[in-house]
Amino acid sequence: RGELTTDVTSLITIRAPPLTTWEGGVAALEHAVRMESDVTKSIRTVISACESDPEFNDYHLVDYLTGEFLEEQYKGQRDLAGKASTLKKMMDRHASL
């Protein structure tokens, strides 16, 4: 604990987004929902890894990830999905606007 004090930037990889343009707002929001879903799956994978080893069950990390991150991910996904649905309905009914 506390031993890693230098070179932490090598642990962080920043990837360029796969898409930078979309056909419209609906496509952009749907892509954002897919990206949020991928992040949620990654968090769930870490949680599963923490829970799977009977010799070393890191329940503190599971609790932290579940309480701090997973809940926020679910809220973000619901919000984006709702906005995408609303925009899609608006575009279907009033596409000329």
Mind listing the pLDDT tens digit for each residue in 14-23?
Answer: 778 788 898 9
Residue 6, pLDDT > 80, answer: no
Handedness of CA 51, 57, 59, 64 (dihedral sign): negative
- Ramachandran sector of residue 2 (left: φ over 0; alpha: ψ -120 to 50; beta: rest): left
Rounded CA separation 94/75 (Å): 28
Exposed, middle or buried, 87 (CB in 10 Å: 0-12/13-18/19+)?
middle
Supply the pLDDT for residue 81.
96
Residue that wins the pLDDT comparison between 80 and 46? 80
Supply the pLDDT for residue 7.
65
User: pTM for the complete prediction?
Assistant: 0.74
What mean pLDDT value characterizes the chain?
A: 86
Supply the pLDDT for residue 28.
93
Q: Which residue has the tokens 């991910």?
A: 73
